[in-house]
Amino acid sequence: MPRRTNNALASLALLGSLLLGGTAAAKETPAAAIPLNELRAFADVFNQIRLNYVEEIDDKTLLESAIRGMLSDLDPHSNYLAGDALTDLQTNSTGEFSGLGLEITTENGFIKVITPIDETPAQRAGIEAGDLIIRLDNEPVKGMGVDEAIERMRGPIGSKIDVTIAREGESQPFTLTLQRDKVKVASVRKRWLEPGYGYLRIAQFQANTGGDVETALESLMSEQELRGLVLDLRNNPGGVLGASIDVAGHFLEGGTVVYTEGRARNSEVKYNASASDTTKGTPVVVLINGGSASASEIVAGALQDHRRAVIMGTESFGKGSVQTVVPLNEERAIKLTTALYFTPNGRSIQATGIEPDIAVERAKVTAIRRRPRLSESDLSGHLENANGEERDEPVPPSTGSLLERDNQLYEALTLLKGLHILGLNSYG
């Protein structure tokens, strides 16, 4: 066995004491036998790097690298938070930072785009959910962690960065030059699609999203009768769990929204909606796609299981895990996957996603050119209507341009119109 220095032995002793003592949460479960051979191997590798690596590396850096390695091998969402990473975590919940505006994860060693955030440099440049980022400023990202990639993509407002992307269906990677900007995620936006039919877009679940949704709904309903509502969760990467509970509560009359299960005693929790459907049973269509993740899937799954809304679009991302931030000290923490969440009917969507009730792929649809219209009333000498009514001049449909811009939204509006014609709502 290679000779160990006192420092290496001290590190081994420290690691052993941590494993034996553990955190308060770990003490609640019986400790497994400590793998002494692996601990010795760790100390040996630690010592070999300290003594023989081509460049000198201090013990603190090596130990932090070991922690990062332990967490990165668990799953894509567990990681080590130090310095700016902790600040970034808080920034994400408030929705304001300087950068490109991308929600990312790792896949096969590369950085994968979950979704671009609305009205950001990334979205304006045309980056899409599912794109693989393979270089940043011509530096390969293979093996780069999410935190490091985020750090490189953020920077001063106005500074530029080259992002090289591999996209399914494209024969060659291509490079986009993006200019960093202030990214302010507008959590909730509202508008009317047509008289009586409202549109609510949630871009990200932030701490105040539940209240913003309530304000938006009340505003719409104060302006005119709300016959139907499209809730757009496409390319929404999720966010604050509590916000998803609040949002679902605005469409449900109580009941379970989601429940979680894990190994830790306090990981088994059931979250219920308040009995306060703000819309009073107004028909709802929820739009989802491959960029809808986490909290978005909680809302879509809850409304689907309670048969409160029709889910339309394409299969969601499939992030059904819960992360807990465990502080180590004032400057460091770990984000650890501690539980899986389940829809009210007991469905785990981890790695499977939410299946829409009506599948509608995003497509470019162009209406066939309208031909001159000829009817009975145009014929010379035609008989008049028996009730004395006259045909109104045809009005081009206001949704024609919507069909071309966003066929999924067009289909959602069409479905809502049908539900209204039949006099259907969610409570009979």
Q: Which residues are catalytic?
A: 294, 305, 319
Strands 358-359 and 310-313: parallel
Strands 160-166 and 132-136: antiparallel
Closest CA to 192 of 398, 387, 426: 398
3 state SS for 12-72:
HHHHHHHHHHCCCCHHHCCCCCCCHHHHHHHHHHHHHHHHHCCCCCCHHHHHHHHHHHHHH
Residue 337, strand partner residues? 323
Q: Residue 249 corresponds to which tokens in the numbers above?
A: 């509560």
CB 80 within 8 A of CB 148: no
**Rounded CA separation 77/319 (Å):** 10
Q: Is 112 helix (H, G, I), strand (E, B) or coil?
A: strand
**Rounded CA separation 192/6 (Å):** 71
* Terminal-to-terminal C-alpha distance of the chain: 76
**Rounded CA separation 372/199 (Å):** 33
Helices 209-223 and 241-249 cross at an angle (nearest 10°) of: 30
Q: Furthest-apart CA pair in the chain: how many Å?
A: 110
**Rounded CA separation 26/338 (Å):** 12
